[in-house]
Amino acid sequence: MAWNREHAGVAAAPAVAVDWSVTAMTEAAGRLPASAPDLPRLAAAVAETVWWVTLVDATLVRYHPRRYQEALASRGAPQETEETLEGLRYVRNQLGRSADPAGFVRHPGEAGGPAAWEWAAQPEPGHLDACAPRARQWELSRYRAYQARLAGHGITATFALCTAFLTRAASLAASE
């Protein structure tokens, strides 16, 4: 976070690149319901959407921190939004370690259709023993956010919350 504050706005992504990324993120999230009930395709779509959401999130945090904070402050539940995004960062980090995307999704029952797909609870990460204390705390905070804000919650609802927020933050950033 300190590096981000010191380098805010440096080599910022052009507005057209942010706009294009927001469009790709929204389209990826929109494809989720069409992906169910086939678990492998749904898991791949979830992984793609996680990537887009966290890419847009990181771009806005790094290059437009004031507008990002402004968008958070305008939300009814800014802590919920930030913790949800933190949980998605955990998923992204696990996928980067070759975790199976299907391990993050579950269907609570036969009824309910695509919207019933939920985030699956995850065991505490075991690879943290070798991490430095600061890195361990960083990863555990993301894991805890995942467990609190994603596990047991609807996948499409999670992405709807995040894409709406990030679209708003990107529109504020475009006005700079």
Structure tokens that stand for 163 in this block: 């894409």
Per residue of the chain (176 residues), give pLDDT as tens.
Answer: 555 555 555 555 566 778 889 989 999 998 886 555 678 888 999 999 999 999 999 999 998 999 999 999 987 778 899 999 999 999 999 998 889 999 999 987 655 555 678 999 999 888 777 888 888 898 899 999 999 999 999 999 999 999 999 999 999 998 87
d(CA 170, CA 15): 9
- The residues that bridge with 154 in the sheet, in sequence order, are 118
Contact 56, 21 (CB under 8 A): yes
